[in-house]
Structure 1
Amino acid sequence: MISEGALRGYLLEEVLAWLLRSSGYEVLTAQDDGEQPPWKTLEERNHGLVVRGRGAWHQADTLGQFRFVPPFSLPVRLFVEAKFTQIKVRLSTVRNGHGVLHDVNENVMTTIATHSGPRRPRTRYRYSYAIFWTSGFSQDAQEFALAHQISLVDLSVPDFAHLRDLVRTAAKDVHTAMKALPATDLPTVNEIRNYLRGPLLNLSRQPIATEPSVTAPLGVLAESLYSRSTLGLILAFPAAPFVLGLASDDLYGFVRYALQHPTHSIRLRRLRQAGPHPLWQIRSEDDPAAYALTFGLPEQVEAWILDQETTTSSRMRWVKESMLSAMTLYWMDGDHAHTFQLRYRPQEIIAQSTGDLTSWPLADDLPHPPTA
């Protein structure tokens, strides 16, 4: 039987798939491929969805595709892996992600000959990989991820506490119910995931031949997520080898402001609080009370950003400043995609990290933004 810790990770991946819809990502199933063999890139097998690589098929527990194709690029697909444990993610996890990513992106067979017709091109995609974590990464895992452009997204920030509690409770209740069942009646992980996808992703709820004691906590989880309408996660894309997962306890406070100011300047600062790693906060430069977004950075990623020693060449400093001068966010409103750009001065990151926190009031000193 699946362990409670592994079940937490699987449920968290399904919740993340629901949250990432606001950033323009739709969860894929084998039916979304639209191709027939031998052109198919997705298949459904006993343990779930698999993706065709150059050398093998790879399991993709959660795979999303960005709804719009960037200019001069391929359609973008994102592998989502979540770890909900009390130990840090090790190098082996990130190395496995890199192996999968390398193989699927090397699937370069552009045409396939068939006996019944002419050669035709195979659709290609640009795959990315993001690992979402609640307890941190080892140093070598961080360094490897940064070198190979695998994004590490922090879910330990306070704004995600409610989300973590919901997933933890659901996993515990499901696991307890499963322990009371005979082995022949235990549902598979794939059945549990597909059942939860019904209410979360508007997919047809797959029937599951098990006791209601197993499925009831999944329904409670879905209802709790929908009732928490302000809970959200937005992916921010700086011109850097990683993405940022931005959280807010009042997500729509940010959206209301950004719809009126699609491009605006922001202020960044480190929060004064104890914890395993620093947290950063984003506020509008012109209206700091309008919203607050927070994010965490793995230690090695932060060190890469803050590395401004005197030995650093001016060219390297210019590259870092130009890469980290803005971040782009996407917000889906039905079928319409809004694009926001948040601009900032890289020098502020350095100043804030070294303790110059006097130029901006603390979050507790700011008035709360009005509600809609």
Structure 2
Amino acid sequence: MPIILATVRGYVLEELLARLLQDNGYRLLVAADQDREALKDSGRGLLVRGRGTTHQVDVLGELDLPLPFSLPLRLFVEAKHRNRRTGIQHVRNAYGTIRDVNEHYGTQTPGAYHIPMKRYQYQYALFSASGFTRPAQEYALAQQISLIDLSNPGFDALLAAADDIATQIVDLAAKAGLASLPLNQVRHALRHTLGTWPTNVDDEDFPDLAAHIHQMRGPAGESAFPAPAFGLAVAHDREQAGLNVAQLRDEPGDEYYESYEYYQDSPLARELPTGRLAAIVTGLGDVGLDNFVLGFPPAPFVLVLQVDNPEAFAEYVDNAHNTDVRVTLDYPRDRRDNRPLSKDWEIVPKDGEAGFRLSFTLPAILADWMLSGEVPIWSLREAKSTLLSSIAIVRGNRVVRLLYQPHRG
């Protein structure tokens, strides 16, 4: 694959999101050996079989919980980390993929008869660092494709981490004289660093990566190399830190790529230097994801909830007695007409001793509709009691529900 910085940023972000999936009850699927009927390995990663063709998937998670009267759930994750909004073409591609794979079924049964027994319900979540166009949002809501907008300032550190690691990987590839990125090698390195490579799946392609990464992090699991200076996503900050501002540009014709043209005449390598790659990705082990939780409302979208006190949150919701948590939903609003002043919503437990609160944003198209001034007060209350009435979160092998309870008085 051509080495385009924006694309590499998306790959790194996807691996961080894979860790978020794993932390929220999903089992990650990374190799065909985990399900030979539905999955297939390729030179560029994992393929999922559909009725008409196979489809490449970068991150695939299976919800590791039995759901009565439902097919097992599998989730495609795709991330776009670039400087423009994600358009409808990417949502159309997601819909076409989901429709095709949901019509595939396995027939692996004993004896001579082939009974369509093995099936899954596939869903698609598309994350974007710069938001989505309005047509993309309208189409996604209609076709049950989840769009997650990461342009909120609360995600700045996460995006900056992906940007810094991707920039270093692109720089290493250029210095190594690679004409294309060895995607499998990069993914293996990221997954070993983040702990998302399943322990029961052999790593036959790059067996030395895990050892290198373990050595880099030291016997106590701490990095022997300084972590990247996360938070340098702003061009001014990059310049002050001595980094090339042109690295923020997305297109192959930018000066960042042209400055490395002389590498194209050198003998091409097939892989990145293992030790140097391990040293780069090891910094991701210091990225904290404890302050993010996936929330699943009874609506065609997924919420990324930001936790202000991860320790208090974990202690409270991991209590076996707190399966249903009564909460209120609040938002900054105009005291005169009660209209929202911000797109940020807050979830506050009714139990005053809980010690935490969660925040989230609705899909932009819904938030804009509410902020337009055309929505009467009762409609906002209706949104709380319908779209946000129950937000499910997965903790280990438990489902905890955040149940909306209106204010009284």
Q: Pick the TM interval, shorter chain.
A: 0.7 to 0.9
Which of 147, 158, 161 is 1:163 aligned to?
A: 158
The residue number in structure 2 matching 1:366 is none
Q: 1:187 offset after TM fit, Å?
A: 4.4
> Residue 187 and residue 87 in structure 1: after superposition, are their counterparts in 2 closer, same or farther (change >3 A)?
closer
Is residue 210 of structure 1 aligned with residue 272 of structure 2? yes
- Counterpart CA distance in 1 for 2:384 and 2:348 is 22
**SS at structure 2 position matched to 1:218:** helix
Shift of 1:331: 0.9
Matches within 5 A, 1:284-303: 284-287=349-352, 290-302=355-367
* 3-state DSSP of counterpart to 1:135: coil
Distance 1:268 1:113 in 2: 49
- Structure 1 unaligned segments of length 5 or more: list them: 349-358, 360-372
Equivalent position of 1:64 in the other structure:
61
Matching residue's letter, 1:170? I
Give the strand-richer structure, 1 or 2: 1
Measure the CA separation in 2 of the matches of 1:148 and 1:231: 31
- SS of the equivalent of 1:163 reads helix
Q: Which residue number in structure 2 is paired with residue 269 of structure 1?
A: 330
1:205-237 per-position Cα deviation (integer Å, ceiling 9, x unaligned): 63574223333211222x213xx3x63432211
Distance 1:231-1:12 versus aligned 2 partners, 3 A rule = same
Where 2:190 maps in the other structure, the secondary structure is helix
Residues paired across the two proteins, number: 326
* 1:294 positional shift: 1.7
| 1:45-89 CA distance string (max 9 Å, x none) | 111101011111000111100111311001100000111111101
* Aligned residue identity for 1:15: L
1-side partners of 2:19 and 2:74: how far apart?
Answer: 15
Q: Distance in 1 between matches of 2:394 and 2:386?
A: 21
Residues 9, 84 of structure 1: 8 Å contact kept: yes
**Identical aligned residues as a percent:** 35
Which piece of structure 1 moves more, 128-137 or 289-298?
Answer: 289-298
Match of 1:239 in 2: 298
Give the 3 Å change call, closer, same or farther, for CA 86–34 of structure 1 in structure 2.
closer
Distance in 2 (alpha carbons) for counterparts of 1:67 and 1:113: 23
Could you tell me which runs of 5 or more consecutive residues in structure 2 were left unpaired when the two chains were aligned.
Answer: 210-270, 334-341
Instruction: Give the CA RMSD over aligned residues.
Output: 3.1
- Secondary structure of 2:6's aligned partner: helix
Amino acid at match of 1:262: T
Please say if 1:82 is aligned against 2:97.
Answer: no
The whole-number CA distance in structure 2 between the counterparts of 1:304 and 1:123 is 41
The answer for the alignment partner of 2:394 in structure 1 is: 330
Pick closer, same or farther for the CA change 1:160–1:289 going to 2, 3 Å: farther
Q: For residues 70-109 of structure 1, what are the structure 2 equivalents within 5 Å?
A: 70-107=67-104, 109=105
Shift of 1:330: 0.9
- TM-score, normalised by the number of residues in structure 1: 0.78
Quickly say closer, same or farther: Cα 1:187–1:7, change in 2 above 3 A. closer
Quickly say closer, same or farther: Cα 1:32–1:254, change in 2 above 3 A: farther
Deviation at 1:249, TM superposition (A): 4.5
Shift of 1:121: 3.3
Partner of 1:49: 46
What TM-score, normalized to structure 2? 0.71
Q: Say whether the 8 Å CA contact 1:280–1:296 is kept in structure 2.
A: yes
- Separation in structure 1 between the aligned mates of residue 164 and residue 310 of structure 2, nearest angstrom: 23
1:159, distance to aligned residue in structure 2 (A): 3.6
What is the distance in 2 between the residues matched to 1:319 and 1:344?
A: 11
Say whether the 8 Å CA contact 1:25–1:64 is kept in structure 2: yes
Query: What SS does structure 2 have at the residue aligned with 1:183?
Result: coil
Look up the SS of the partner of 1:144 in the other structure. helix
> Partners of 1:325 and 1:169 in 2: how far apart?
38
> C-alpha distance in 2, partners of 1:250/1:84?
27
Looking at structure 2, the residues matched to 134 and 269 of structure 1 have their Cα atoms a distance apart, in angstroms, of 25
2:29 corresponds to which residue?
Answer: 28
